[in-house]
Amino acid sequence: MLIIYFTKYLMEYADKVRCKNLVLGCDVAEQCRQSLHRFFLVKPLSVIIRRLGREVIGNESLLAGKRYDVECETAGSRPPAVITWYKGRRRQLKHTTIKTIILLNFLDGSQEERSENRTVSTVEFEPGVEDDGKSITCRAENPNVTGLFVEKSWKIDVVYPPIVSLNLGSTLSPEDIKEGDDVYFECHIRANPSWSKLVWIHDNQILAHNTSARIIWSNQSLVLQSVTRSSAGRYVCAATNALNETRSEPLHFRVKFAPVCKEDRIIVVGASRGESLDIACRVEADPPAHNFRWKFNNSGETLEVAPARFSMEKSSGVSVLRYTPSTELDYGTLSCWADNVVGTQSRPCLFQLVAAGKPFPVRNCTLANQTYTSVEVKCVPGYDGGLPQKFVLEVYHGDVDYLASSQPLYNVSNPDEPSFALAGLEASVEAGVHVAVYAVNAKGRSQPVILSEVTYRDAEKRTGKYVLPSDVNAPRRICQIKSETNV
């Protein structure tokens, strides 16, 4: 049995170990030295961790999602060290280890191969956002003795563009927001480096801080006071840092509101006595309207309209009233209201019933600034028949006595007045160029006023006369016009 006592400094080189005491027959120093080489256990003396191809780890940042190679080198362990990698507290298994074989020269001239001098391990990893602030640790351990290890750690700084999410305020219920409520949104941001800019977007339009409009920015919150139905839509928050801008997924914001008219104006409805009309009351509401009611008012009285006289399409928010005026007292104002779970419509939809018919013809038409290819036509409007009217001019080519069977060359309209400026007329003078002017409203068109011989080289004025053909219906083409005429 060989019992060996040794001092600490003998651990550096095996060939320098000296036997301090030899007992029980071990009287040969060489045998002792060889036995020490065989059984001497040493923990690693050093560990270095670094990026592959670099001397040391610096204060560099790693980009999330990018792959990196990290190298760990240890020396001095006998037998060769086993290297283990950790990310945080989690063991990383995928790595490559290389052991360097060296020759030890003894005093007697002999040589022996050893692998305990240097071991290198390389690990490839892809840092994620969650790895920011974690430590990459390399542990070099003597495989034969528990606790004989040395380790080195590197705390990593992982940089990444902002990670952004948008939520309605935590104290609010998305299904309970209605007009007049105050709401707020919270933009949650993770970023390294920290975000430097935050923008709020509503339906692709940037929202500015505006207290008078009740839009308030507060750090990472957006406050909307007394919301309206126009506040509904898609909201996005966009955060920017030194790497990039990131936008949150859109948040669909719903605002419930009581019914309102789709057309915020009084609608004029013309009807002759005995004529039946379908009058449609269209409203917007969220949730949809579930009830409608109608009233009729003239200068003498206000009457409720019986539900049997109108229909309701709740899904589309439309109620249609069948109405037939019989006497002068049947002309007046119809009012329509709708209800939903939020409330009753505050302002009714209004329809003004008037006795109406086709418009009267225009009058006193004149020509001015006539040339071979251009002319100006001006008339005085006639009675509109009780309804809004517009004015139409048609240009004809040929004999004026056969206009009823001719097709117009050009068609021009003016919604305001019977005034037209024509240019680039293609018809020749020999063939004759004639103009028909008439008014149109919801009930139909007036009789046309015909102007003949409208193109001349010399500028002059010419007063037209009424010619009343039985019909002037034909395909229409658009002519080139000046600024005072609308097509």
Give the model's pLDDT for residue 146.
79
Contacts of 13 (CB under 8 A, 6+ apart): 104
User: Same structural domain for residues 210 and 277?
Assistant: no
CB atoms within 10 A of CB 467: 17
Distance from C-alpha of 316 to C-alpha of 312, rounded to nearest angstrom: 9
304 pLDDT higher than 60: yes
**Least confident among 298-302, 358-362, 452-456:** 452-456
Higher pLDDT, 1 or 214: 214
Mean pLDDT throughout 363-374? 86
Q: Looking at 255, 274, 303, which one is the last position of a domain?
A: 255
Q: Which of 347-356, 390-399, 429-438 has the lowest mean pLDDT?
A: 429-438
Query: Domain holding 286: CATH number?
Result: 2.60.40.10
In this structure, the answer to whether residues 151 and 165 fall within a common structural domain is no
Query: Which position has the higher pLDDT, 279 or 79?
Result: 279
Structural domain ending residue among the three candidates 238, 255, 272: 255
Q: Is the pLDDT of residue 361 over 90?
A: yes
Please tell me the predicted confidence (pLDDT) of residue 24: 40
Is 278 in the same domain as 307?
yes
Predicted confidence at residue 430, as pLDDT, reads 56
User: Tell me, what's the pLDDT at 60?
Assistant: 84
* 64 and 125 together in one domain: yes
pLDDT of residue 458: 41
Q: Which pLDDT belongs to residue 111? A: 41
State what percent of residues in the chain have pLDDT above 90. 47
The mean pLDDT value of the chain amounts to 81
The per-residue pLDDT for 26 is 45
Write out the residue range of the structural domain in which residue 281 sits.
259-355
Q: Residue 149: what pLDDT?
A: 87
More confident residue, 4 or 59: 59
Token output for 220:
């990472």
Q: Give me the pLDDT at residue 40, please.
A: 66
Q: Is the pLDDT of residue 106 over 70?
A: no
Single out the residue in 199, 224, 255 at which a domain terminates. 255
Are 229 and 266 within one domain? no
Angle (CA) 178-183-185 rounded to 5° is 130
Looking at the fold, whether 126 and 220 belong to one and the same domain comes out as no
Measured CA to CA in angstroms, residue 60 lies from 20, 39, 444 at distances of: 51, 43, 81
pLDDT band with cut points at 50, 70 and 90 for residue 485: very low
Domains contained in the chain, number: 4
Let me know whether 54 and 143 are in one domain: yes
Looking at the structure, do residues 371 and 405 belong to the same domain, yes or no? yes
Buried b vs exposed e over 20-35: b needs ≥16 C-beta within 10 Å? eebeeebeeeeebbee
Best-predicted range by mean pLDDT (70-84, 180-194, 315-329): 180-194
Answer whether residue 444 shows pLDDT above 70: yes
Per residue in 244-276, pLDDT (tens digit) is 999 999 999 999 999 999 998 999 898 888 889
